[in-house]
Amino acid sequence: MEHISTPKVENVKLLDRYASKRAASGTLYLTATHLIYVDASAEGRKETWILHHHISSVEKLPLTTAGYPLLIHCKNFHVAHFVIGQERDCHDVFTSLLKLSQPVKPEELYAFSYNPKMSKESREMGWKLIDLKLDYQRMGIPNDCWEITDINKDYEVCSTYPPELVVPRAASRAVVMGSSRFRSRGRIPVLSYLYKENNAALCRCSQPLAGFSARCLEDEQMLQAIREANPGCPFMYVVDTRPKLNAMANRAAGKGYENEDNYENIRFKFIGIENIHVMRSSLQKLLEVCEMKSPSMSDFLTGLENSGWLRHIKAVMDAGVFLAKAVREERASVLVHCSDGWDRTAQVCSLASLLLDPFYRTFKGFMVLIEKEWIAMGHKFSHRCGHLDGDPKEVSPVFTQFVECVWQLMQQFPCSFEFSELFLLEIHDHVYSCQFGNFLGTCHRDREELRIFEKTHSLWPFLLQRKQELRNPLYRGFTAYKELQPNTLPFSFQFWCGMYNRFDRGMQPKQSVLQQLLGCLRHRAGLEDSAARLEHKLPILDGPLPSKGCTSGKASTPAQDCAGGAAPVLSNGPSLGQQEHQESPARPQESPAQPPESPAQPQESPAQRQESPAQRQESPAQPRESPAQPPESPAQPQESPARPLEPGAPREEGQAQHQG
């Protein structure tokens, strides 16, 4: 709180460039964690919450007739344009936000003060929710060719790798240590994903310290061990995700790429994804296009093309598709690297895994994928996301590009992902919010030193609590789509308005198809719950139901009456329920209640009766999860994707705007 000189400013205007009505007028508050704007002119209490860690820049604009403008850009692409009446107040808010949004020490991050009133045991269980060993066991590891080793338990091999690594069983300790000395920052080749269908492996590492002529016998033996672990293919690919020109420039600095003459039976390939500086510049150009005042369609499309953003997204997607195709169709193992193996390598390895394995398209699987390929393997979240006041040249939207690639896949395969766009936006928000400890620091060793697992909470259990809200109503199930083969022609890539213009209400459809579907499913679940309660009441109140030729002495439920007749179906019509009826012709029904043996038989309590729908949701006979839990109220307001994830915590930016 020492950075806040003026905690409250009244008569502040909030401008909306898309709204035709006059600017909102209200009060601006500064707290230790949030900027809060309360619109006094709105019907009811309308609030806008902006987390300090989400703020990327604060700018004072020239004086206008309305007052002193203050423009705030956020890392989740929220833009807030305030006009403050007094110059002193504007300056105080400006200086306070500069300090609050750029903490110097890790201990000043929100995660270390965030307290969701959770027990110590619950917090520890949250961190144990994702176990990477279980994912490797799912792939069949350890086996005859691969093993999980703790050779890096003291970070002797690599300081930015986790303590446990998956390496070829044929690679001795001497080979591993020798390879680490020949790879940039000691990031040796390790397993990322094993395709069980043909034993082809997807591995990752950093660039070799080859220069123009250097070679390393242990590194050559390591690649040979990876190739021989897959007896179904006589060669392996080595993929450099950088443009060839960049890789050749690194050769002059004593680094570079593998010489095919020194490695037996490898096929080398460049992919051509640009570096972090090009990506940062491209995103900035894209955001300038998104913030144009009144662009024509021609101006917008020209600006989008000139930004090059979608071309970069296509390049990342092309790389992931190539890796997946090499593993699946050519049955070849692949080794991937960029410069240090923590940016472009993480993007393409996680995308290839997503294309090959439907498990990673579920809620739990996607969390495992992020933990395995991004968090454990040392993506520099703290630097790339600008969590602390540091070098701005280290900031780059690497993880944002991965999230967008997943969204692009969801547009082509809308029924193959268990989660919706809102789930991606929630994760993206919390990568920058620093509210949870998952994305703090740059590697596992950093997080141990910061005692993240003791002092902060994990994001994943909070997201799983909101699973029904974040699910994809079109999901066809785990086995509906095995491998994905997306189209990567330029016309297949769309502009993601839901990400980059998410808070511009004038840019969004008046009705969200996703929210409409979820609302219909909630309504359907409510109707089914009501029907179940009525089914319990009928035999108790009226005795056994009369037989009408379609039953044999037992009271039957409405769905069982007259199988050949027109029994009522609790559905919202074929447009919504067709897919579910195809997969589950009849929902699990409870056996009809028997007539009471005596009048004194106790009636079932309401709490017991309300257990029936939940039991049906978890019944093993039902092929997939129930669409949603019954709502507590018929019209529950939509919540912002950026809000905190538990009761009592401060809300994040944009919540009240979406509720309004």
User: Residue 332 and residue 326: Cα distance in Å, rounded?
Assistant: 6
A 10 A CB-CB count for 106 gives 18
CB 329 within 8 A of CB 183: no
CB 593 within 8 A of CB 540: yes
CB 390 within 8 A of CB 102: no
User: Residue 337 and residue 346: Cα distance in Å, rounded?
Assistant: 9
Tokens of 634: 């018929």
Cα–Cα–Cα angle for 110, 116, 120, nearest 5°? Answer: 105
The candidate with the shortest Cα–Cα distance to 264, out of 209, 224, 230, is 224
Which three-class secondary structure state does DSSP give residue 26? strand
- Which of 203, 338, 405, 434 is labelled catalytic? 338
User: Residue 184 and residue 647: Cα distance in Å, rounded?
Assistant: 46
Which three-class secondary structure state does DSSP give residue 304? helix
At 207, phi and psi to the nearest 5? -70, 150
Cα–Cα–Cα angle for 475, 478, 480, nearest 5°? Answer: 75
CB 254 within 8 A of CB 209: yes
Torsion angle of C-alpha atoms 632, 636, 638, 639, degrees rounded to 10: -50
Residues 6+ apart with CB under 8 A from 632: none
Helix or strand (DSSP H, E) at 201: strand 200-204
Q: Give 236's strand partners.
A: 266, 333
Residue 142: is the preceding peptide bond cis (ω within 30°)? yes
CB 576 within 8 A of CB 523: no
User: Residue 207 and residue 339: Cα distance in Å, rounded?
Assistant: 5
User: Residue 258 and residue 336: Cα distance in Å, rounded?
Assistant: 11
What is the number of residues in the chain?
Answer: 660
Catalytic status, residue 443: no
A 10 A CB-CB count for 288 gives 12
Extract the runs of DSSP E, i.e. beta strands, from 345-449: none
Extract the runs of DSSP E, i.e. beta strands, from 61-134: 68-74, 79-84
User: Residue 642 and residue 429: Cα distance in Å, rounded?
Assistant: 6
- Catalytic residue numbers, as ranges: 338
